[in-house]
Amino acid sequence: MSKHLSSLLLIYTGGTIGMKQDPTRKALVPFDFSQILEEVPEIGKFAFRTDSYTFDPLIDSSDVDPTLWQALARLIGERYDDYDGFIILHGTDTMAYSASALSFMLDGLAKPVIFTGSQLPVGVPRTDGKENLISAVEIASARDSEDHALVPEVCILFDSKLIRGNRSTKVNAEMFDAFRSPNLAPLAEAGIQIRYNNDLIIKPSDWDKPLRVNPSLDTRVSILKVHPGITRQTVEDILYGGSTRAVIIETYGAGNAPTAPWFLDCVREADRAGKVLVNVTQCLRGTVNMDLYATGKSLAEAGVISGYDSTTESALAKLFHLLGTYHDNDTVKTLMGRNLKGEISK
């Protein structure tokens, strides 16, 4: 591995990591990232230049919306040639959505874009924030013998694990291991040494090709979570929603849903209206397989397409991106079935 020191841009959007105890006000206040090297001097061991960009206002990630994703994608596009990698400090609540979205919006990525955050503010003695940030910086700076980034992907670094952004989901609101990648092994794990899972890491087809930023997003997507006792009215409200172009149907197990004739009629009707209907399982692990049970088969026959082993976060972000890019829903359906950025095992 090359020992070249990198230049990194640290982008701070908000969230717990950026809080620090103000001794005079005796309260948590946002941390001034222009002072980052004073607070976390270890960063200087990996990066010769660490610039920061702070969003204004800083937000709790529960307030994230697609305009932040567009701003992030544009910022990375504009500064792409100036840095070897990008670290995005972000609240944990919606980090999996944001990392998924960026993975689709940045095309031809040859540099790391690593999201991280923490469960405890960086100014608190037992914080997980420093370790997360230092590991993210080390990984974002890592290069191979040909001077290419070791992980040129959009990822999340949390609790010593580097996971693909569009495979991630938040699973823990309490402990430090907040994130999982249920259907794909970590891309790297930071123990005594950082072990990279090189076979899983996606590399660009051409390292020198410029980055393409696709900021267009269409958010006309709804989520229908099936559950025992779901009413026809609820299903109709979600599936027929006037402007909705696509619905993620969160199903049971391998992609199963009620077989009541009224339920399938609603699905058929939505399909006839041209909506993109995507089947994503409520299970954390495993994949949708609509051939397995009669209940799943009926959905496929009614026009529902498989989301395979996608997380809901990734399916939502992929739909926003594809609907924003293509006006006809048939193209969107075709591309939903393709593995675009490592988001499904296919």
Residue 305 near residue 277 (C-beta atoms within 8 A): yes
Catalytic site includes residue 16: yes
Q: For residue 303, report the phi and psi dihedrals to the nearest 5 degrees.
A: 110, 5
Residue 92 binds ligand ASP, judged by CB under 6 A: yes
Pick from 10, 15, 69, 139: which binds ligand ASP (CB under 6 A)? 15
Q: Taking contact as CB under 6 A, which single stretch among the options 3-11, 85-93, 242-250, 267-275 is the one that binds ligand ASP?
A: 85-93
- Least Å distance, CB 186 to ligand ASP, is 20
Check binding of 175 to ligand ASP (CB under 6 A).
no
Looking only at residues 313 through 332 of this chain, which bind ligand ASP when binding is defined by CB under 6 A? none
How many CA atoms does the CB half-sphere of 301 hold within 13 Å? 13
Would you count residue 16 as binding ligand ASP (CB under 6 A)?
yes
DSSP state of 329: H
Query: Is 91 or 258 the residue whose CB approaches ligand ASP more closely?
Result: 91
Q: Which is closer to ligand ASP, CB of 132 or CB of 295?
A: 132
Q: Which of 66, 85, 112, 117 binds ligand ASP (CB under 6 A)?
A: 117
Select which of 16, 54, 311, 312 is catalytic: 16
Does 112 participate in binding ligand ASP (rule CB under 6 A)? no
Positive/negative CA dihedral, 40, 42, 45, 46: negative
Alpha-carbon distance of 213 to 321, in angstroms, equals 11
**Cα 55 to Cα 60: distance, rounded to the nearest angstrom:** 12
- x/- string (CB under 6 A) for ligand ASP, residues 28-67? --------------------------------xxx-----
Tokens of 139: 């990984």
Minimum distance from residue 116 beta carbon to ligand ASP (Å):
11
Bridge partners (DSSP) listed for residue 87: 10, 114
**Closer residue to ligand ASP (CB): 14 or 255:** 14
Q: Is the peptide bond before 57 cis (omega within 30 degrees of 0)?
A: yes
Contact 158, 261 (CB under 8 A): no
Number of residues that bind ligand ASP (CB under 6 A): 11
Q: Looking at residues 243 to 272 of the shown chain, list those that interact with ligand ASP (rule: CB under 6 A).
A: none
What tokens were used for 74?
């544009």
Sequence-separated (6 or more) residues with CB below 8 Å from residue 15: 59, 60, 61, 89, 90, 91, 92, 93, 95, 117, 118
Q: Which two tokens stand for residue 256?
A: 């199963």
Nearer to ligand ASP, 15 or 85 (CB): 15
Residues marked as catalytic = 16
Residues that bind ligand ASP (CB under 6 A): 14-16, 60-62, 91-93, 117, 119
